[in-house]
Structures are given as C-alpha cells and as structure tokens.
Amino acid sequence: MSYTSVLGGHRHRFENLARLLAAASPERSGDRLAGLAARSAQERVAARWALAEVPLTAFLTEPLIPYESDDVTRLILDGHDTAAFAPVAGLTVGEFREWLLSERADAAALAALAPGLTPEMVAAVSKLMGNADLVAVARKVRVVTAFRSTIGLPGRLATRLQPNHPTDDPAGVAAALLDGLLLGSGDAVIGINPATDSPRAVRDLLELLDGVIRRYAIPTQSCVLCHVTTSVDLMERGAPVDLVFQSVAGTQAANASFGVTLGLLDEAYEAALALDRGTVGRNVMYFETGQGSALSADAHHGVDQQTVEARAYAVARRYDPLLVNTVVGFIGPEYLYDGRQILRAALEDHFCGKLLGLPMGLDICYTNHADADDDDVATMLTMLGVAGASFVICTPGGDDIMLNYQSASYHDALYLRQVLGLRPAPEFEAWLASIGLLDEGGGIREVLGEAHPLTAIGRDLAA
C-alpha cells in the first residue's frame, strides 16, 4: 500500500509503510548509508504529514518484514495483546502522539497499554515528536525490576559499574571496581566486558565478582558479558551466573549474525531462573541493543535503523529482563554521525523501550572518531536523567580502556544524582550507609588513603 501527501503544491508518494517510516525519520548517517533517508527536508516533512494520518492498526496488518520469513515479526504479531491495545485502537499515529502528551496518559494508563503496543507503533509516533516530547512522555513511564537490588523506582538512578580491562587482569579489574564502589556506583550491575569469550576466563571473572559481592554483602548482581552459549555452558558447570547477557537486534537475520535464536534465549532464560540467585526479584536477563546493528549485518530489510532498533525491544520484552540498555553512539559515526544524532537516538531508544514496558538504561557514549565530545555526554546524561532513565553505564574517568570508547564516568553519575535529587537503588543505598560511604545529604563521602575497609578489595585481588 502506498502513502501520499501534498506539500507546497508538490505531491509526495511513499511506496509502502517501511519507506514512509524511513523518510519521516530525523536525519542520521546510517539511514543515508542504507539509501533510506529522506531525499530532502521537504520530503521528510511530507512523510511526517502522511505518517500522522496512518491508523495504528495498519502496523498490525502491514508487517514491515514478512511474517513468514522473520521470527521477530512473528513474535511481535503473535504476542500482541488486543485487550491492552483497545484504548488507542481507533487512533492514528498523530492522534496517538496527542494522547501520549495528554494527562490521560498517566503512569497507570501507560503501564496497562504497553502489551498492546508494537515496536513499529512506538517508533512511528517517536518520529512525530520533538526531543522535549520524548522526555515528557518517557518520564511518565515507570518500569520496576529486581534481582538483589530494585531498579526503576521513582526518584532513583542506578548505575552499571563497568570495570573492564584490556587483558582481564585481576589487579586492573580490582582498581576499576574499587574506584566505582567508593563512588557509589554498581547498584544496577557490576558488569565486565571480557577481553575474550573463553569459558575459563569468563568463569574466573564471574568468581572474582561473586567473591567480592559475597564478602562485602553488596546488594547487587554481577554479569560478565559473554555470548549466551557461554553462559549456558557455565551455568551447567555450576559457575556463579547472576544475569545472562546477550546483544539482540530487531530482525531474525541480524540476530543470526550474533549467533542467537529465540530458542537459544529461551534455554538460557530457563536455566538462569532455575538457579534462583536473586534475593528481592527474579528478573535474570540483561540485553544490549544499538541503532545500526542490523544495517551493519546487512539484515535491515529496507527498514530504517530506528524502527529496527525498536523491534529489538520486542525480543527483550519476551524475557522480562532486569536491564536493557542501548549502546547509543557505540556503533560509530557511520550510523550516528555526531553529538546531535546520538542525542536524538538516545531519547528515541529510551522512549520506545519504556513505552514497550522495558527497564531502559543507556550507555551514553561515542567512539573516538565521531564528531562528539564530553559536553555531548553531559547533555545526554542530563536529558536522560530528566526523562527517568533506570540506569546509566559508568566507566573509570569516562574512558573505557578495553573497548576504546568514551562514556559517562562514576563522577558523572554523582553529578546527575545531585542536580536531580536522585538516589541509588534502595538496597544499595542502605548498604552504602552501612559502610559509612553515604553522607547526610545522600551524597558520597570522600575516602582518604586506605582508611576504608573496601580498599582491601584492591589488595586482595592484586595479590
């Protein structure tokens, strides 16, 4: 089915829904690389006029990627909750935008609606919204999950402590881990990107983190971000796996490029649940996504990168995860060229994920060859904090020496908690107070020298 609109006396025609969505997308280098971007600003505006008139039900009857050949499409359509969709079933995309911005769309209404929305619906409406709209709506959505800490409560901001090291050296990991804990980081997860997917190396890191968490009774969870097959193997061998991690994308072919199927994720999910290692909840999965992953795998099926990214959230939603984060900016300037495009993508991803009912966090970052800098990170961090992000990823000094990119730092998270009056996850906050790291105002006390017991972490792991 084609779509048309007339703008400035010129008739614009878009041959199908995928082409309409791509033309309506804000400018980004990945869509231009794929030949999907609007050919002019006028065409982009014309596409948005046409998109505003599309009924939401069109996304249920006109799959962007054929049902027969893509299991993510089947997951989306077969799992659609018609009853939850009913309150907005008669709306167009433009009317849905107005509804989301109205007082009728409060936290309870949005939570009830989430199972009735598809990724294509939320991607479509995001293309009609300005940055402030994306913040205003996302802020109203609350998604609460738990394992040993509770993530996503109002007034809270959690962090992933990311103590990566180029060779997985225990002393290097210990230094970054200690740095983060002393700065109040790690309540979402202590998560390491290993230098190798070797089961032996991954198990060593899992046991290192598990030992620290147990010795200091830290109410958090660990994760070593290996391939899901490695996690399944290690769980069978008795390794201390808290969360199962996997990168996922929005098409079957893109997931195949990661070596992942829905059946494999099902197996990992059931295995992690069976371990029953959580103390306050049973959300056991951790997913990462990122705009551009399907395009880089030549698996986007002619769908724009932001809509494909939203489809990845349907995969994540199947497993009721503890954490989902988009690594916005990480895939490089070929997909998001500069700080402006990265900011826009971060707000879109956060908005779409939360509307679909996911506990969204972000790696607010850029690669060293992108046209972005630390001020872009500060701007994104502040806007995502206002928008109610569940967690952000933090690295020592904002510089990941293993993955060689720039991200937020532990100090950045303290800044955000301070200026927005946010606090850590409640269990982690109580632990910080119990070990004397929390001051009267909810901030972090400065630790001088080796006066604090936590500094033994460094000595023990370096030994």
Binding residues: 160-162, 193-194, 246, 288, 296, 363, 402
| Alpha helices for 15-118 (secondary structure H) | 17-24, 29-33, 41-52, 58-61, 71-78, 82-85, 93-101, 107-113
Q: Determine the length of the chain.
A: 463
288 forms bridges with which residues in the sheet? 247, 325
Please give the single-letter amino acid code of residue 159.
T
Ramachandran angles phi, psi of 65, nearest 5°:
-125, 130
As given in the structure block, the two tokens for residue 433 are 């107070």
Determine the distance from the C-alpha atom of residue 287 to the mean position of all C-alpha atoms in its chain, rounded to a whole number: 7
Q: List residues forming the annotated binding site for adenosylcob(III)alamin.
A: 194, 246, 296, 402
Q: List residues forming the annotated binding site for substrate.
A: 160-162, 193, 288, 363
Nearest Cα to Cα of residue 300 among 118, 292, 326, 124: 292
Indicate the angle between helix axes 374-386 and 339-355, nearest 10 degrees: 20
**Residue 340 burial (C-beta neighbours within 10 Å; 0-12, 13-18, 19+):** middle
Cα–Cα distance measured from residue 269 to residue 10, given in angstroms and rounded to the nearest whole number: 52
Cα–Cα distance measured from residue 462 to residue 444, given in angstroms and rounded to the nearest whole number: 25
DSSP 25: S
Pairing of strands 3-7, 10-14: antiparallel
**Residue 329 burial (C-beta neighbours within 10 Å; 0-12, 13-18, 19+):** buried
Give the other-Cβ count within 10 Å of 179's Cβ: 19
Dmax (CA) for the chain in angstroms is 75
Cα–Cα distance measured from residue 204 to residue 234, given in angstroms and rounded to the nearest whole number: 11
**Residue recorded with tokens 């061998």:** 237
**Residues of 137-173 as b/e, b for ≥16 C-beta within 10 angstroms?**
bbbbbbbebbbbbbbbeeebbbbbbbbbbeebebebb
